[in-house]
Structure 1
Amino acid sequence: MKTTNYYNTFIEVAEDCPVKTAEVPPMRGEKTIANIEFELLIENPYEFTSDDVLFHVYAAKSHLKTKDSGEEKMQFFSKEQACFRSSPLTKRYGWGAHFNDEGKMAIYPVESEEYQQFARDKTLKQVKAMRSKKA
């Protein structure tokens, strides 16, 4: 199984993120990837790994039943998956992602003191979210 999990890492917002203050992803009909990720992470800080979140999004978008998820999860992670650096939360909506030593994650608004503390923390691996546009 391939993994997207990070440990002791902070993902800063993308350099070309269009917002200076984090935004809640707007609802437009069916839930988007950003809506699903945001709801899961804002309500459950440090309960899920990146793999958990990505599979939850896939399952929700694919309308999977939870009882089927074991085999589906193995199949989903048998292929490379984009990591959380490509999440719309970190690229577009102004949320940084912190991963603790167990790989569990939480999100923080770019304007928050917590975000700034994580961004300055030299004990964490610091990475940027992927840019939306090529430089």
Structure 2
Amino acid sequence: MHTTNYYNTFIEVSEDCPVFESEIPQQKGDNKSVALLQFEMISHNPYKYTSDEVLFNIYVLRNNLSPNQKEKEKFFSKGQACLRASPLGKRYGWGIHFDENGRMALYNLDSPEYQKLKGDISLTHLKAMRNKRR
């Protein structure tokens, strides 16, 4: 089974993120976007969920599936995009910190906490994926 979990890692905002202050994704139309669902799940529950849990729960919700082991095995039987590809870090300016248990929390790009995590040499540092190729 593939995993998207990180441990003791900080995903920094993409180099070409278009904002200088973090933004909360807004709902457009009847359905919530993946970015808004991720934001709500992580920001309302800091250090409660792993990446795998967030991605699977959103997949289940958006596809009206039952969150059972069979669906989970099917979902993770092939590789899934990790949160480096999330619009939260690419478009909306949110850093994602993963603790030693793989649980995560969001940090505003313009916050002192973000800067502290960015400078923490005990963490693995990754950048959110770029929006455009070079």
TM (norm. structure 1) is 0.96
Q: Secondary structure at the match of 2:125?
A: strand
The runs of at least 4 aligned residues of structure 1 exceeding 6 Å deviation read: none
The offset of 1:70, in angstroms, is: 1.5
Distance in 1 (CA, whole Å) between partners of 2:64 and 2:116 is 38
C-alpha deviations, 1:60-99, integer Å up to 9, x for none?
1111233xx2110110000000111000001100000000
Distance in 1 (CA, whole Å) between partners of 2:129 and 2:7 is 18
Give unpaired runs (5+ residues) of structure 1. Answer: none
Distance in 2 (CA, whole Å) between partners of 1:39 and 1:60 is 13
The offset of 1:130, in angstroms, is: 0.2
1:47 and 2:48 equivalent?
A: yes
- Cα-Cα RMSD: 0.7
Indicate the residue corresponding to 1:37 in structure 2. 38
Q: Mapping of 1:2-81 within 5 angstroms?
A: 2-29=2-29, 30-66=31-67, 69-81=68-80
Distance in 2 (CA, whole Å) between partners of 1:110 and 1:58 is 27
Give unpaired runs (5+ residues) of structure 2. Answer: none
Give the structure with the larger helix fraction: 1
Q: Secondary structure at the match of 2:11?
A: strand
Question: Which amino acid counterpart does residue 121 of structure 2 have in structure 1?
Answer: K
Distance in 1 (CA, whole Å) between partners of 2:85 and 2:109 is 16
Distance in 1 (CA, whole Å) between partners of 2:15 and 2:21 is 14
Distance in 1 (CA, whole Å) between partners of 2:47 and 2:9 is 13
Distance in 2 (CA, whole Å) between partners of 1:60 and 1:90 is 22
Distance in 2 (CA, whole Å) between partners of 1:60 and 1:81 is 16
Between the two proteins, the alignment pairs up a number of residues equal to 133
Indicate the residue corresponding to 1:108 in structure 2. 107
Q: Secondary structure at the match of 2:80?
A: coil
Question: Which amino acid counterpart does residue 77 of structure 2 have in structure 1?
Answer: S
TM (norm. structure 2) is 0.97
Question: Which amino acid counterpart does residue 7 of structure 2 have in structure 1?
Answer: Y
Distance in 2 (CA, whole Å) between partners of 1:96 and 1:121 is 13
